[in-house]
Structure 1
Amino acid sequence: MKEDFLHYLWKFKKFDTLNLKSAQGELITILKSGDYLELSGPDFFNAQIEIGNQKWAGNVEIHLKSSDWYLHNHEKDPAYQNVILHVVWENDTAIFREDNTEIPVLVLKDFVDKEILANYKALVSPKTWISCEKQIKGIDSFVFKSWQERLFFERLERKAKFIYELLEETNQDWEAVLFCLLAKNFGLNTNGVSFLQIAKSIPFSIIRKESFENENLEALFFGTAGLLIGEKEDVYFKDLKFRYFYLLNKYQLERTFVEPVQFFKLRPDNFPTIRLSQLAGLYHKYQNLFSKINDLKSLASVYNLFNVSASSYWQNHYQFDKESPRKSKPLSKAFLDLIVINTIIPIQFAYSAVLGEPIVEDLIDFMNEVASEKNAVIDKFVSFGIKPKNAFESQTLLELKNEYCNHKACLKCSIGVELLKNN
């Protein structure tokens, strides 16, 4: 059993509230359960409770065992001196305030129906991929939709934290933040870390200055990625290498070594050479890209803005010194859908939050245009009858799985609470 089950029982009064008695034998009447704020300090604030003939106003603390009070050192924390009731599952020791008065104890297991306990144990069973996999399809659509919106908002808030960190690192330069975020997501899962290191290694002021020559951007990107090491017969390789060292000298940059980029198991169109060339092409084509991206409101406008391709050399190469059949290498719609999900939507959300002008509903509408992602997690939900129609729904399912199901946080999840309540 977890403590969050006791929080659930207290919050929703899922026990016999008419015949409550403290462990000390006094009658208990709950006038107000208190506010569950999930902050440091007691679990429920501003509760109102009658114990015996005395009405109390204060806080409620909940533990599996009463001895957890001392295990967590609450006796040393002034924040716990205003606790009026200690709610526990097992009462294994008496708890005293600083003035040596005993804190009243409510032993919940004496007042909880066995069926509720059985339903809880079934819900958090460790033997399934998610606890509610046999029941999730039957959840009320209004409850499910409302919870999806909350999950989407939570996912954006988590992604925004990384953006705010980049803001601090770049002295509040949104263009530089966008560059780092785009670079990371152009690298996808395999090369995302390396591409982010590349972006952080090149001051964005230099990207601005050199964006008028595509070859100079490629030289900076490829050189920093460690792709211009050694000697090759390839003329373009030699040209980029010359430009790279010239630019290092011009801007007095130290040669930086990032985590090596990977080619292994990647489709050729996702090779780091192609993605870096496309990123260079994007910044060669546009200056002040942030303002353009912040104004995007539809998928069609994204496809139009990101209508860039790898440079001419890469039309018949995937690696230096290895010629391949000529093929145009634009940014695909599937790739741009990922850029919308992982770059455009998060940075629009973060920027609007900084301005104090939330646009969550607009972002949901935007995400409804984008196709659902396809991966093992989404496939599993589909097997349970939950098939996402768009990226908004697939993103919320990923958040649900990663942040709730994986942690067995059923009682912090609206779906889990609804199932337990219905049972």
Structure 2
Amino acid sequence: MHKATLNYAKQQDELDELSNYRNQFHIPKDKNGNELIYMTGNSLGLQPKQTKAYIDQELEDWANLGVEGHTEAKNPWLPYHEFLTESMANVVGAKPIEVVTMNTLTANLHLMMVSFYKPTKTRYKIVIESDAFPSDKYAVESQLRHHGFNDKEGVILWKPREHEELLRYEDLEDILEKHGNEVALVMIGGVNYYTGQYFNLKRITGLGHKHGCMVGFDCAHGAGNVQLNLHDSGADFAVWCTYKYLNSGPGSLAGCFVHERHAHNKDLNRFTGWWSHNKQTRFNMRDEFDVLPGAEGWQLSNPPILSMAAIKASLDIFNEVGIKKLTDKSKKLTGYFEFLLKQLGEDIIRIITPENPDERGCQLSIQVLNADKALHDKLTDAGIISDWREPDVIRCAPAPLYNSFQDVYYMVDKLKDILNKNQIE
């Protein structure tokens, strides 16, 4: 049974077998040198302390070897993306042939839609969540325009019911029953950025495929946060960034999943570049294009090594811990966070994220009665780094690799103080 005391939080940290991993990350500090309580791993993950050494290794090899670093570096640059594949596949629950690290999130989404959004005059519509991340909405609208369709008529929104925030699968079923023969693609955020709702990817894929639709997911808020099990989901494709829960640094490279049933289909339409060409003949230069099998066959250019080095630094930690242990701790940590918030009074605090731990990651999206952004600003001034999203949600994500039960306790304690002062004022 949880207890709303600092001693209890300290005991939980002592029992936590992953607590020492916090020491492997740089924790931001205030101007007085005190550690801030960092709850925004869902926007930008913290830097692993080993990242600098990983990047320095590549800078050293570049300095000493120049172009020869492509083959002679400690971690040769030509196949560098391959050093990430197995660890990344483990994180997202895929086979190595299904995963590649390349480009950035929305660029990958467009590349996937080139291959898997195949509209006809009668089947051209795209289903997304009504409150999808804006970039997803912009991307699918631009694909519709590119193919000559109306970008408003072509988007079907999966909406929550009136006075609800969370989406219901029955409503998606209704959409596909009514419009399935008009839908070419179902493209959903695996974990909704606003509510933190983690969708059943396998169930959604099954619904889409039943009606002859391609199915893809934006897993930006899922990779490194929940057990995605992408292969078992049966999805045609998925994309994600690595700078949130995967701690690879601002704007770092992204990940891409293509289900193995498409791995050897050379007839799939795609945009290509020389890095998707057969590795054995890539440097012959004048050969006809010969596409690589698997997700690697969607690459365009040789990879930026410094960004990949940062990703490798983080993935090596994930590989050591394992996604199961991380999600187990996440459920405990977020469960305690939820318990403490409810102690403040459910008439004051409303959590719009699902209560079921299997339907969320570590993020809790909080609404506070009569609060505006001023409350978030006061939290920031009190040393709590959280995330404000209009119109009235504070997103907090205690990441299990570096957040502690004490972090959660202090965050809620500071929130309680601020609310009490507001009442007095």
The structure with the largest alpha-carbon Rg is 1
Q: Give TM-score, length-normalised by structure 2.
A: 0.22
Q: Give TM-score, length-normalised by structure 1.
A: 0.22
**Relative to total residues, which structure has the larger helix share, 1 or 2?**
1
